[in-house]
Each structure stands twice: as structure tokens, then as C-alpha cells.
Amino acid sequence: MGRYLLGRLGQNVVLLWLVSMIGFGVLYLAPGGPLSQFAMVPGMSQEDIARIAQQMGLDRPLPVQYWEWFTRLLMGDWGRSYRDSQPVLHVIGSHLWATLELMITATIIAIFLGVWIGVMGAIRRYSFFDSLATIGAMIALSIPTFWFGLVTIYIFSVKLGWLPPGNRYTIGDASFWDYLHHLIAPSLVLALVEVAVWSRYMRASILDVINQDFIRTARAKGLPERQILLRHAMRNALIPMITLAGLQIPTLLGGALVTETVFTWPGMGRLFLDSLSYRDYPVVMGILVFSAIMVLVGNLLADLLCAIVDPRIRLD
Amino acid sequence: MTDRMVDTSSLTRPSRRKLMAMGLAGGAAVWMGPSIGWVGQAQAATPPEKPTGQAVIGFSQEPTVFNPLMLHIEVDEGVYFNLFSPLWRPGPDGNLIPDLVTEIPTAENGGISADGLTWRLKLKDNVKWHDGTPFTAEDVKYTIELINNPDFRAGRRAGHELVRDIQVVSPTELTWRMEKPYAPYPAILSWTFIVPKHILEKEADPNTAAFNNAPVGTGAFKWAERVPGDHITLEAFEDYHGDGPYLERIIFKYIPDMTVLFTQFQTGDVDYTGIQGISPDKYETAKSLEGRVVMPVPQPFVENIACNTGLPVFKDPKVREALYYAMDKQSIIEAIYYGLPIPTESFLPKESWAFNPNLPKHEYNPDKARQILDEAGWVPGSDGIREKDGVRLEFTNSTTAGNQTREQAQQFLQQNWLEVGAKMNISNLPPAVMWGEYWMMSKFETAMVGIGFGIGPDPDANDFFHSKSIGAQGGTGQNTTQYNSPEVDALLAEGASTTDQAKRKEVYAKMQEVTRRDLPYLPIFQYTMVEGIKEGLQNFKPNVAVQENCWNANEWYWAT
């Protein structure tokens, strides 16, 4: 186990290095560098741009810039944002909580609802409920989040006035109930698709398990259906879900761009897009490395958990 | 230099400029004059005794740079006007309004010497920084010196780099010398915000100073809070030296999507739709909203077809003239732009003091276009496309790919020009490619582009028209049409070195005649933008000379 972990970590470091190099290269080779947008600002001359590029060291060869960035990263210095000159980790940190709040709420709703719908669908396969759930899942998966979010705002905020039209809290209020009130619409919209995904996976997984020999054995033993489901079927059906959950970790921290945009939620998804469109390369690179770490950690955790839960899997 | 070129390289966020580029900005044919507050609300109310209430300003871009001298984008300036003070502000009528000074220095009052080289400024003595420290002439000196500090990432340096020997005569008076006369400098100073010496001089590196995220200014509102990615709150500064503030706080709310911004304006969560305003397709809906005032506001940008005069086909001014005749401008404005923009013949916005209203009016006349081309020896070939000396009257037109409004306008022009025997092919590119080297180094043939040519309220357009500003020929500017006119060069030089505004006005009037005649750019219209405020907000004054119309929030208050 220890050797396995060490090996994985070694692999991950190499992967991270590759990811950072490719990310850096692609970013800097894209047309229009970090200063391109400023060429259009009133009063900015080409001379100003050239001077600033030189002050910022952007006129140096790419490998030199990369090496400087990478060595600093290894020392724990992630650089500073071009936009607000704050340290990159500080910038990421300032958006992380908003994202976590939204994503965790949505994920909890999605897992509970998704698992329940999936299980019910599987044990009453082809029933009215199952068909309804299947159709519902298809619809949820095909509705564009952007549109759905706007419709939600239109109905519940503009027409009925029940929910706030986005934002994380009322500026100046910020009580617990205020946060909760603002959280309802975006978390449900975000959960909608997730519920669909989780219910489909769960249904398939249960169906897979429920036809296996040990379930038949349990039935033959005369165990109550409820106990078979909870003790035997669910336990085994949840194993693939762990992998799914592991893959969700980076998504959790990466934020949901569309939902965050529609509900003006100051999360990581927005931060990434804003940084990209402002050509704020230190932050873009920071998020890239951060997400890469999360993907690797998520995968590693999922693998470890699977090994713990499922004795058939051995990590060597 | 000044380019408010519409359209930039941002990937997904439509910036204000990009919006222009998309032709989403709208405006009305009738504009009642910029200096009046918005219709029907100016009379009744009086400002409150002490600051009351708040205004939420919705921005579709996020202000992030709070040292006003550093490299920043337009949206940041909306915050600066409320947090800091320039020496003087650009007024809605094009005149400068004293802010930190007691009077605008001119040749008449002795503030600027007759040769334009020696400046003397008199400052107000009742101005305080938000931390209570008195503002003095030292702060002005420090500000200009910081801009010229080689290690400081200053944004614009034009004009400031000509300042020499700044002498502080007394806390309320200072003088300096200019390396050469530079008439746009007063306009440049109207967007140069003064920063506190007593705070910044203690910082080791002004580029990463704590000040940059906790700014201290002399404006009507002081820094309260910033939640990155979400909002910025400013609170009333009771010791403000000017009028107001009457609001207890103003909040700049970042709402990245324009549809969402409009929804929040509808629900009343946003009191004013800043930067990109309301998209023209929602203008009708917006007008019918109860309790909201919605109006098109003129912008300083002009939409043009830029012709690359370095190409054989556009060397002949007759071709440009004929194409202009063959352009059905009015239909483009009516059918594609919701009738909102204002047709124009000039490169300046009509609110500019230097605007020439007497330019020849455009006429849509395909027959005349054909006649001009016939006379100039452009003969239709076998396929109907004209030719002269082996050069076909065929060219590409480029703009930002995916900009649907512009694409429609392009197709319209394509038809217009085909009728007179000119073939235009549409070749659009992603923003970063379009406005990068392709534009800057004149690799395009024709481009559909919106540009703000002046330097803020100043009509100096050296960067776009001077022959030394041609990037493709080793110049340092943005004269991408490669327009080379000794006449315009001379006029630009004269306009930049003359201090007398009346004389300058003549110079630029003449220059507008020449560019209207030579047509390196075929002007289409001046942009307008639909903006909305909640009813009851007093003293909202659109101003074509500033980046954001919340420039005077110190005067805002709610009617009770």
C-alpha cells in the first residue's frame, strides 16, 4: 500500500509538471497576449503597451518565463494576478467558499435525490415511476442550464417575487436565512442535471447487482426485500458511485460556470472565465494547476476508497 | 492612442467595446441634449440633509484595479470618479469642470503661458484624503512623478512624459514646464486621478502596494469593502470638498451576463445598468417597465468601414468615394440597428466641441457611384466586377467572427456594392486574431470597426490619421488604414500645439472636411447605448466624455 501510494504520487508529480507546461505553452501561444486588451483602452498607445510588457517581463522568451514561473511555484509562490495584483492563492481562496457552498448543497441534493430515484427506478423497473424518472432524467439532461436558470428567475423572482434573482446574499444583510434564501434557486438548478446523472448511474448499478447470484441466494434464504436491498444490493451498487464521487471533487471546486453566471454567484467558474478573458495568466495557470491537483487527488481518493470498500480490489 | 476601438480580444465577456463591435449598443435618433438630467425628474426633489439611501450600479465587467494610475480597463474608471478626484472633470457639454483646482488653467487666466509651455495650478485648500490628511500640491507632484517612474506599471503616459520641473510653490499652488506644447494634456489630466503621496511613498513597490486593494482618495465616497467577483461597496465621505455626497453608499455589483443584468434591473435589484447598458433588442421591453427610466445615450464611438489604402484597389480615392455613395446607410441603421445609432460624417462624436456639423451629407446613390467608377476608368469585366489596369474591384471585409449584427450589416453592404460592380467577400476572424496583428499591421483589406478617435474629450486623433502612426510602416500608432495625407499631418501637428480652443476648433473642422473627402474610413454611424435607471434617481447625467455615466454619483440622490 505504501509503495503503491508513493508510486502514484510520483506519477502525479510528473503529470502535474506536464499539465503545467502544456497549459503554459497553449496560453502564451494563443493570439493576443495578456496586454492585447489594453491596446483598445482609450489613451493607451503602442508605446505604453511595449513599455508595460517590458516592465512585466512579457517580452522575454517563453521558456525563460515558464522556468521562472515554475521554479517560483515549486517554492510556493503562485505569482500575482494581473488584474488586482493580489497573490494567486488569495484570489482563488476568495472565490472558493462561494463555490463550495453552492456545489456542496447541490451535490448533497443530487446524491440523495439521485440515489433514491435510481434505486426506486431499479426495483420497480418499467413501472410508471421508472418511466417517469427516465423521461425526467432525459429532459433534465437536455435542458440548457442557462435557459433553465433564466426561466427559474423569471418565474420565481420576476413574476412571483418569492426568490431573489441571483446573488449570494443581500449586501448589508448576510444573515444565515438570507444566505439560505439565495441558495435555493441556484442549488436546485445545478442539482437538476446532477440528479439525472446520479439516478441513471444508480439505476444501472442496482440493476447490475440485483441480478447477481448472491442476491438470489439472499432471496432464497427468505430475507426481507428491504434488508436485501439495503444490506446486500445497495452496498455493492454504491462501489461505482465512489468513483463517480471521486471524479466529482474537481468539479465541486471548479465551480459551475453557467449557473454561477446566471445567478451572479462569485465562484470559481466565473473566476476562471474572467481570468481567461482578461488574460490574467497567473490566475489562469493557478486555477489550472489547482484543478489538476484536485483531479489527481480525487482519483487517488476514489481508488483508495474502492479498495477499502471492496476487498476484491487490491492496490499493489 | 486613444482608441476606444470597439471590440477586443476578450473571449466570452462582451466588453463595452465588444458590445459596440457587436453593434448591440443602441441609441435614439433624437437626443435631448446631454447636460440636462433625465427627463421629467429634475424639478421636484431636493437633496437630503445628510447622506441617505444607496444606489446599486450594475456592471457587466468587474472593476479590479484600484490604483487609478495603473494599467486598467474602462470599467475601473467608473469606480475612480467616485473614489478619487482628478484636477478637473470632463463635463457633459465638453467643457472641463474644476475639481481639485480652483480654476481651469488657460492662456487667458495665466494658468498656461501663451506658448503653452509653463503651467501654474491653483488648488483648493479644503480638500481632505479619506484618512483625514489634507490634500496638497505635493500629492499632484507625486502623482505625475509616479506615472513617469520607470518601475511603475502606469497605464497611459502620453502627455505626462512631457512634464518637467514640477515645483511646489505652496500647498495650494504648483508649476511645471512642458517639454513641448501639447494641447490634449488638459483632457488627459481630466482622467488622471490624484493619488496620496503620504500613503504610497511608504510602499516599497507601488505595483503591489496594499493601497491597491484598500485605496484612499479624495472622492465623494470612501472605500468600504470588496468581495472579489461580486461587488464593491463605497460609503459616503462626509468631508468631501465638492457637491454631495447625498447617498449613504454606492455599490458596484458585478453581473457578468447582460440578460441577467437586465433581469435584476427589472426586479429592482439594480438601480442603474452601467457599462454595456441594456441590449437594443430589449429596448422595447425596457421602455414599458413601470418605475424605470430607459433612454439611449450617445457614445463616443463611430462605426466605420476602414479601407486599407495601402492596397492597389484602395489607392484610388474615387473607389472609396464610390463605395460610400453605394452604401445604404439609413437602411443599415433602421433595419439592423433598431434605428438607434446616429448617422455621421465625422470621426468625432457630435457632442465634442470640435465636431463639424457642416460636412457634406451622405447620399445613397448607386447611379452616382457607377458614374464615378466609370469616369475613373473602372470598367466592368465579363462577370460584372469592375477592373482597372489589371486590378479587380474585389476585396474582403473582416470583423469579429460571431458578431451577428455586424454580419448582417456586412451582407447588406455586400449587396449594395455588388450593385455597382464591386465584390466584397466576408472574412471574419476571432477577436484576438482580428484585432491583433491583422488589424494593427494593416493586413486586412477592409474592416468593419467601431472606434473612439479622440483622446477622451479631446479631438486629437494623431494615432489614427498621422502618417507617422502607421504600424505597418514602422510607425507607433494605429493608423491601420495607412492613410497618408500631408495636409492632415500638418493639421494634426497644428491642433496638438495650439492652446487656443477657438483656433483648434477651426483646425479640427478643417481636418474633418479632409477625412470626409478622402474617406480612409467610410463613417456609418455614431453609437448610442440604451441605459436604464430606477425612477426617482436624481441627477443622472450621461456624459460622452467619460467611460461610465456614474461619473457624478456624488450628486445623485433619491426623490422622496
* Cβ contact B209:B203 at 8 Å: yes
Domain span including residue A296: 88-309
Place of cell 474585389: B394
Pairwise CA distance, residues A299 & A292, whole Å: 11
Strands B379-380 and B537-538: unpaired
- In angstroms, the first-to-last Cα distance of chain B is 45
B-facing residues of A in 176-235 (CB < 8 A) are: none
In a domain, A83, yes or no: no
Inspect the interface and report whether the beta carbons of A84 and B65 lie closer than 8 Å.
yes
Contact list in A for residue B154 (CB cut-off 8 A) is: 48
Contact list in B for residue A84 (CB cut-off 8 A) is: 64-66, 212-213, 228
Query: Is residue A89 packed enough to be buried (19+ CB in 10 Å), middle (13-18) or exposed (0-12)?
Result: middle
Inspect the interface and report whether the beta carbons of B436 and A158 lie closer than 8 Å.
no
Pairwise CA distance, residues B377 & B368, whole Å: 14
In a domain, A82, yes or no: no
Inspect the interface and report whether the beta carbons of A84 and B254 lie closer than 8 Å.
no
Return the DSSP state at B128: B
Pairwise CA distance, residues B281 & B338, whole Å: 8
pTM, two decimal places = 0.85
Contact list in A for residue B432 (CB cut-off 8 A) is: 30-32, 36
Pairwise CA distance, residues B91 & B110, whole Å: 22
In a domain, A244, yes or no: yes
Query: Is residue B349 packed enough to be buried (19+ CB in 10 Å), middle (13-18) or exposed (0-12)?
Result: buried
Pairwise CA distance, residues A240 & A302, whole Å: 10
Task: Tell me whether A36 touches chain B (CB under 8 Å).
Answer: yes
- E-only strand ranges, B205-351: 221-227, 231-236, 249-254, 272-273, 292-307, 342-343
Cα–Cα distances in angstroms (integers) from residue B337 to residues B29, B262, B286, B370, B451, in the given order = 11, 19, 17, 27, 17
Which chain A residue has its CA at the smallest distance from B251's CA? A171
Beta carbon pairs, A and B, within 8 Å: 195
According to the model, what pLDDT value does residue A229 have?
83
In a domain, A297, yes or no: yes
Q: Is B448 helix (H, G, I), strand (E, B) or coil?
A: strand
Task: Tell me whether A65 touches chain B (CB under 8 Å).
Answer: no
Select from B2, B6, B10 the residue whose CB has the most chain A CBs within 10 Å, as the one to mutate to test that interface. B10
Return the DSSP state at B152: S
In a domain, A145, yes or no: yes
Return the DSSP state at B334: I
In a domain, A298, yes or no: yes
Which chain A residue has its CA at the smallest distance from B545's CA? A42
According to the model, what pLDDT value does residue B452 have?
87
Print burial letters for B371-395: b (CB count within 10 Å at least 16), e (below 16): ebbeebebeeeeeeebbbeeebbbb
Three-state DSSP string of B492-504? HHHHHHCCCHHHH
Inspect the interface and report whether the beta carbons of A40 and B4 lie closer than 8 Å.
yes
- E-only strand ranges, B156-245: 163-170, 173-178, 221-227, 231-236
| Radius of gyration of the CA atoms of chain B, in A | 24
User: What is the complex's ipTM, to 2 decimals?
Assistant: 0.83
Inspect the interface and report whether the beta carbons of A42 and B547 lie closer than 8 Å.
yes
For chain A, how many structural domains are there in total? 1
- Using CA of residue B24, residue B29, residue B35, residue B41, what is the dihedral sign? negative
**CA angle A34–A36–A39, rounded 5-degree value:** 135
Contact list in A for residue B65 (CB cut-off 8 A) is: 83-85
* Cβ contact B104:B98 at 8 Å: yes
In a domain, A186, yes or no: yes
Inspect the interface and report whether the beta carbons of B3 and A157 lie closer than 8 Å.
no
Task: Tell me whether A97 touches chain B (CB under 8 Å).
Answer: no
Return the DSSP state at A240: H
**C-alpha distance from B539 to closest chain A C-alpha (Å):** 24
Of the partner residues A37, A48, A161, the one whose CB lies closest to the CB of residue B155: A48
Q: pLDDT tens per residue, chain B (560 residues)?
A: 333 344 333 333 334 443 344 333 333 333 333 434 444 444 557 888 889 899 999 998 899 999 999 988 888 989 999 999 999 999 887 789 999 999 999 888 888 988 889 999 999 999 999 999 999 999 999 999 999 998 898 888 888 999 999 999 999 999 999 998 888 899 899 989 999 999 999 988 888 888 999 999 999 999 999 999 899 999 999 999 988 899 999 999 999 888 889 989 998 899 999 888 888 888 888 989 989 999 999 988 899 999 999 999 999 999 999 999 999 999 999 988 888 899 999 999 998 889 999 999 999 999 999 999 999 999 998 899 999 998 999 999 999 887 888 899 999 999 999 999 999 999 998 877 888 788 888 999 999 998 888 887 889 998 899 998 898 888 878 899 999 999 999 999 999 888 888 899 999 999 999 999 999 999 999 999 899 999 999 999 998 888 889 999 999 999 87
Closest of B531, B521, B80, B480 to residue B297, by C-alpha: B531
* Cβ contact B43:B30 at 8 Å: no
CATH number at residue A92: 1.10.3720.10
Cell of A103: 456545489
Cα–Cα distances in angstroms (integers) from residue B13 to residues A278, B17, B155, in the given order = 9, 11, 22
Inspect the interface and report whether the beta carbons of B3 and A40 lie closer than 8 Å.
yes
Inspect the interface and report whether the beta carbons of B264 and A166 lie closer than 8 Å.
yes
In a domain, A146, yes or no: yes
Inspect the interface and report whether the beta carbons of A44 and B251 lie closer than 8 Å.
no
Task: Tell me whether B132 touches chain A (CB under 8 Å).
Answer: no
In the beta sheet, which residues pair with residue B250?
B55, B234
**C-alpha distance from B365 to closest chain A C-alpha (Å):** 34
Mean predicted confidence (pLDDT) in A16-27: 89
